Amino acid sequence: MSRANFSNTKRVVVKIGSSLLTAGGQGLNKPAIASWVAQMADLRKQGMEVILVSSGSVAEGMCRLGWKTRPKALHELQAAASIGQMGLVRVFENYFQEHGLLAAQVLLTHDDLSNRQRYLNARSTLLTLLKLGVIPVINENDAVATEEIRLGDNDTLAALVTNLVESELLLLLTDQTGLFTCDPSINADAELISEANANDTMLDEVAGESRSGLGRGGMYTKVRAARLAARSGAATIIAAGRENNIITAILSGEPLGTYLVPDIDPLVARKRWLAGQLQIKGKLVLDHGAVGVLQRAGKSLLAVGVKKIEGQFERGELVSCFSEEGIEIARGLINYGSKETQLLLGKPSSEFEAILGYADDAELIHRDNMVLI
């Protein structure tokens, strides 16, 4: 995807760093937040889906507590995050409401994105919010995360969310203009890297650590995030959040910041992930009608079209779909475990709640979580 095509982007993840949100640690920068929200609201009104990944809960908590140095003790970080999150949520909610938009807070940990069931739940929630026209505001769940499961920085979180919702573009707003050939604060000859392949090893040599002391990120984490995003075929732009109308300008195709390009198409990446990188846990045998619907119409798989299951699997695990003749048709992430699926075979979705006592999804496998073979 070239910069000129950014206006055709369907879905974008915007991540705003701690130093931007808190005016370098002086408290929430409300005028700047109001501007970013206005730009995101404008994108939403153009039909683009927007997910915001917000840093700043710990930094805002530090401001409220009067702390000048980021604590190292985990329980102090969690306390600061709990306090700061209150301010962040209120400010974002108020500004989005001014534009007639609803915002939703979503707190995630690494476990939510590595556990198959939680991954599917998080994905379903975010896609539902987007379908409803809501702006998800995501932050790492610092208040309860332990050292073992912390994502480590919100650049990584933003990249994983980009993978999760299959966004085409990740926009990392920072206090720097972009990625330079060397540190511009100490070398006057430093040049902005306008565009590069996300997996170019040259980037490792020029990326540095955070100098603000407020966040856990730096250019190194942004390069790493770009590489994570590139796994699902998403492009990344690292740009200066303080520049006037920066979000609007970038999505209009202006050559700002550093553009890190993936080396794989999003559809190819998704197919490769589903078809080859996950272990198949079960097998579904479909009737001829279901096979036709999948192959010709590309629709979701309903239980009414499944005749038989094999294997033991849990919600969110990968299963393979076969025709009655034994030909593999598709693979996908299933919405129900094998025990529940067995009870639902051949049944219409309207009967799920009566059979199970609940109904998570109308489909056994949603088309967004399926790849045809």
Higher pLDDT, 170 or 18: 170
pLDDT attached to residue 24: 65
Predicted local confidence at residue 327, as pLDDT = 94
The CATH number assigned to the domain with range 278-372 reads 2.30.130.10
Query: Do the Cβ atoms of 280 and 331 come closer than 8 Å?
Result: yes
Sign (positive/negative) of CA torsion 55, 58, 60, 63? negative
Q: What is the mean pLDDT of the chain?
A: 86
Which of residues 231 and 14 earns the better pLDDT score?
14
Which band of pLDDT confidence, cut at 50, 70 and 90, is reported for residue 145? low
**140 and 149 in contact (C-beta within 8 Å)?**
no
Q: What is the CATH number of domain 3-266?
A: 3.40.1160.10
Identify the weakest region by mean pLDDT among 39-53, 109-123, 228-242, 317-331. Answer: 109-123
Mean pLDDT of 128-143: 87
**Residue 310 — φ and ψ, nearest 5°?**
-135, 145
Question: What is the number of H-type helices and E-type strands within the chain?
Answer: 14, 13
Give the confidence band of 146 by pLDDT, cuts at 50, 70, 90: low
Residue 210 scores a pLDDT above 50: no
Give 262-290 pLDDT, tens digit per residue: 987 776 676 666 665 568 899 999 999 99
* pLDDT at residue 36 in the model: 97
Give residue 212's pLDDT band: very low, low, confident or very high (50, 70, 90): very low
In this prediction, residues 212-220 reach a mean pLDDT of 56
For residue range 148-162, what is the model confidence (pLDDT) as tens digits?
A: 435 557 888 899 899
The percent helix, strand, coil of the chain (3-state, each to 5) is 45, 20, 40
Domain ranges, ordered by start, for the chain: 3-266, 278-372
Give the largest Cα separation in the chain, rounded.
70
Least confident range of 76-90, 123-137, 294-308, 338-352 = 76-90
Q: Which residues of 209-240 are buried (b: 16+ CB within 10 A; e: fewer)?
A: ebebebbbbbbbbbbbbbbbbbbbbbbbbbbe
**Nearest-angstrom CA–CA distance, 174 and 225:** 13
- Crossing angle of the two packed helices 74-98 and 30-45, in degrees rounded to 10: 60
Please tell me which of 130-144, 264-278, 354-368 the model is most confident about, judged by mean pLDDT: 354-368
Residue 26: Cβ-neighbour burial (10 angstroms; 0-12, 13-18, 19+): exposed
CA distance 33 to 39: 10
CA-to-CA distance for 138 and 107, rounded, in angstroms?
A: 6
Instruction: Please state, in angstroms and as integers, the Cα–Cα distance from residue 176 to each residue in 148, 172, 332, 344, following that order.
Output: 30, 10, 41, 54
The pTM (predicted TM-score) of the whole model is 0.78
Residue 215 has pLDDT above 60, yes or no: no
pLDDT tops 50 at residue 144? yes
What's 89's DSSP letter?
Answer: H
The Cα 372–Cα 295 span in angstroms is 7
Which pair of structure tokens corresponds to residue 26? 């002086």
**The two structure tokens encoding residue 40:** 């995101």
C-alpha to C-alpha distance for 32 and 50, rounded to whole angstroms? 18
Indicate if the pLDDT at residue 88 is higher than 80.
yes
pLDDT of 260 above 50: yes
The fraction of the chain above a pLDDT of 90, given in percent, is 49
| Residue 302: DSSP 8-state | P
Q: Among residues of the chain, what percentage have pLDDT more than 70?
A: 88
Pairing between strand 195-197 and 258-261? parallel
Q: Which pLDDT value is given to residue 233? A: 87
pLDDT reading at 78 higher than 60 = yes
End-to-end Cα spacing for the chain: 26
